[in-house]
Structure 1
């Protein structure tokens, strides 16, 4: 991980996350190739790290465009980033258009008609996208 990240501290944190992910499992997996298995889990943790960094960077850029008096406190930013990460994980695996429609509706408060116009799709397709994203979130939360 250090070769990919270039930082001993971050790579140690991600190695810790990798082992915590394995220890948190309900039942121990039967592992035929422990090194390959650990490498796969570590790569997934690293991919999640990069996705989280990209999300955080986009959030910080959005904050930079706000007037100073509307910028949330450090604690509020941390909570918002954690919430955004949870939403991102819930929507993981959905097509981009479905995610965008869902986020436009939930975060920006856009109507289905406005979303359809912005994405250049029909209102019926927007409804399907919203149902699909909502269903994915509901069942993902029910499992957790």
Structure 2
């Protein structure tokens, strides 16, 4: 990143950090979480290396911050579902906090992966892999043809295979 871009991002931060902090505090009701998300927002801009045009700075910052809020909520939702499922297990089957964190990270990765699929493909894949339904049962539940279910599952498996090939 060149010095000019660094200066633009620094100016962006100085001009808008208080506004962004207030924007996030209204949504989070927590000044500490808001401050963390302000930093994460600017970190995204630094990593990207492209500051927004000055006339769109607040819209750009708000868009990034809202995306981070959504990511944070999705993470919380996945963590809560996993922790709730642990409550159902006998104590001897509950893993260490480190293992739990690894499982949460894996679940979050899978959540992001499945999120990129269409709603029907995601539902079909989960009904097949988690609930063990047949293609015919899935087609009835989703009110689609069996051939559509085949396509949805193929797309989901293709997505999973591509990710595996890329080493993730």
TM-score by structure 1 length? Answer: 0.77
Q: Which runs of 5+ in 2 are unaligned?
A: 1-23
1:103 Cα deviation after fit: 3.1
Q: Which runs of 5+ in 1 are unaligned?
A: none
Partner in structure 2 of residue 46 of structure 1: 69
Question: Secondary structure, in 3 states, of the residue corresponding to 2:103?
Answer: helix
Gap change, CA 1:139 and 1:15, over 3 Å in 2: farther
Structure number with greater Rg is 2
Does 2:64 match 1:31?
no
1:139 Cα deviation after fit: 4.9
Measured on the aligned residues, the alpha-carbon RMSD in Å equals: 2.8
The structure whose RCO (Cα within 8 Å, separation 6+) is larger is 1
Contact 1:112 1:127 in 2 (8 A): no
Partner in structure 1 of residue 132 of structure 2: 110
Partner in structure 2 of residue 57 of structure 1: 80
TM-score by structure 2 length? Answer: 0.68
| Larger proportion of helix | 2
